Structure 1
């Protein structure tokens, strides 16, 4: 019998206070994450990727932000509105997160050893000696050969790639079931990026930890993810198995992201870029949120917000009216029976 998903998000809505009213930042996001699966969440800055991740960690600041609607179910337990004491048992222990810039997450006043051992002792019953041995084991697991020496060093003494490996070690300290990585390779050079991604894939295989990888780079998604969710202005605009979405992108935004990626096989004077910018939350009052930047928009796009349509070819989802008049089934994803 197949196990249910380790994490399930249903119709999540998150908003933040601005000018005395709440503005929606994430609108109707739903997805499932299976045990041992790697899901990529892609989109430009302001698309709602990080807010989605913070909601999974129970880190939406209150009262500035709030979950308006929807649910998050982890290991068959509803965690959307649990108490802070319950969150402390889950956060870092069963669900961990790697943030984009390790220098803002590591304390510059304490050694790597102090911070790693504190993380371990906070969530386990290990002694000081055992936590030190576990720290060395974790650093070796993430590819740091001189683990004992690193324990005595401070964050500023390490390279960006080494700091990111330390952050991954800290996140893996308690054998989490879900690991969220928010742009973990953005500040790193290409060679180190490849090493960090290979490391995450290796840890996924060794520990069967489910991973949510947040990025703006579809190349990164193609290299290690099994499923992908493309977000724009707080909504999912395309979702499915990576090879199907990248081979047959259905949404003009996904097509634009793919077209924007450099290709070493082609010589171009200038790279393609999608015109315009992501609209500020709450500024699009009606119609498709991508319509103002879309070369394929038509009259209906200006007045109606499209639902997610299901592809009749491969079953992945696209939020675009074009697919209600082409080969895609003209029904909402939630009520369509896939053949």
Structure 2
């Protein structure tokens, strides 16, 4: 019997108002997160990754944003249009998020201990003394030495890597079922990046917390994720097992992202980059959203929008007309809407 996913997104569409128009930042996104899984979401800036994560946390600012269609199903419950009071019971308690820049997420006026304990006491019945003990446990869990001393310090007194560990500790305070990490290693140097990724993988294994890792770095995805979703201009263009997609990418955009990764064993005068930029929301009126930047685009691509084509063998999905040619390339057959 197939186990129900912990989180399921069905045909999600999130738009933001500009003048009198609503422009789609996320356009028909659907995916599942399995219990205990680490799922990667990759794509350039402006592809809709962060807006998707904010929708999953009930943090779309309204106005100007709104969820126009679709469902967010968490633990078999539809949480798409909960009241703010109900969202507070879920946010930070059952679904937590680590934001990109810890210095702007932590309050500079309060100590680390004060901020950690506030979150714990908000979602649990622990006393102040018990919350302090729990805070020390959490800081030790994320590999911070002299945890008791750190409780008294302020964010500016810590390094970037230490602040990020504090953010992870805060996110893990109530043993969430789902942890969303939005570019958690962007502002860190390579050595600290590796430590943070190892920490997240360790937490996943110890606590069985499902993790959604949002990044633009395919190297990070290869390091710790089991499955990956590739987003472009608000849509999913490819998704499947990490090994399958990294070894045999099917969408021209995924191929371009992989080609952009520098290879240490090769000498090149210039690194490859995908020509052009991600179109603004609502800018592409017809056809495939990647067609203007795609070297493999043909006439149909500029006039019709491709559906998701799914592999019968491994569930590998790709949004590209190339898979309707020659009887279906690489066993991708039939469109699934």
| TM-score calculated relative to the size of structure 2 | 0.98
Q: How far, CA to CA, are the matches of 2:333 and 2:143 in structure 1? A: 49
3-state SS of paired residue (1:139): helix
Q: Deviations over 1:187-237 (max 9, x none)?
A: 000000000000000000000000000000111001000010000000000
Q: Is residue 6–residue 75 contact of structure 1 (8 Å, CA) maintained in 2?
A: yes
Residues 239, 245 of structure 1: 8 Å contact kept? yes
State the shift of 1:268 in Å.
1.4
Give, in whole Å, the separation in 1 of the partners of 2:23 and 2:237: 20
Separation in 2, partners of 1:101, 1:306:
36
Counterparts in 2 of 1:143-154, with a 5 A limit?
Answer: 143-154=143-154
Q: Is the 8 A contact 1:317 1:333 kept in 2?
A: no
* 1:23 paired residue number: 23
Aligned counterparts, 1:38-117, within 5 A: 38-117=38-117
CA–CA distance in structure 2, aligned partners of residues 195 and 181 of structure 1: 15
What per-residue deviation string (whole Å, max 9, x for no partner) do you get for residues 237-278 of structure 1?
000111111111000000000000111111112111000000
Distance in 2 (alpha carbons) for counterparts of 1:314 and 1:154: 49
Residue 332 of structure 1: aligned partner: 335
Corresponding residue for residue 304 of structure 2? 304
Q: Distance in 2 between matches of 1:103 and 1:268?
A: 37
The corresponding residue for 1:226 is 226
Cα distance in structure 1, aligned partners of 2:317 and 2:197: 26
Counterparts of 1:305 and 1:3 in 2: how far apart (Å)? 33
Do the aligned partners of 2:312 and 2:333 also contact (CA within 8 Å) in 1? Answer: no
Tell me which residue corresponds to 2:257: 257
Q: Deviations over 1:284-326 (max 9, x none)?
A: 0000000010000000000001001113554300000001114
For residue 282 of structure 2, what is the aligned residue in structure 1? 282
Give 1:120 shift: 0.5
| SS of alignment partner, residue 332 of structure 1 | strand
**Per the alignment, in what secondary structure is the counterpart of residue 331 of structure 1?**
strand
Q: Distance in 2 between matches of 1:232 and 1:193?
A: 25
Structure 2 counterpart SS, 1:109: coil
Runs of 4+ aligned structure 1 residues displaced above 4 Å come to none
Aligned length: 334
TM-score under structure 1 length normalisation = 0.97
Shift in Å, 1:333 = 2.3
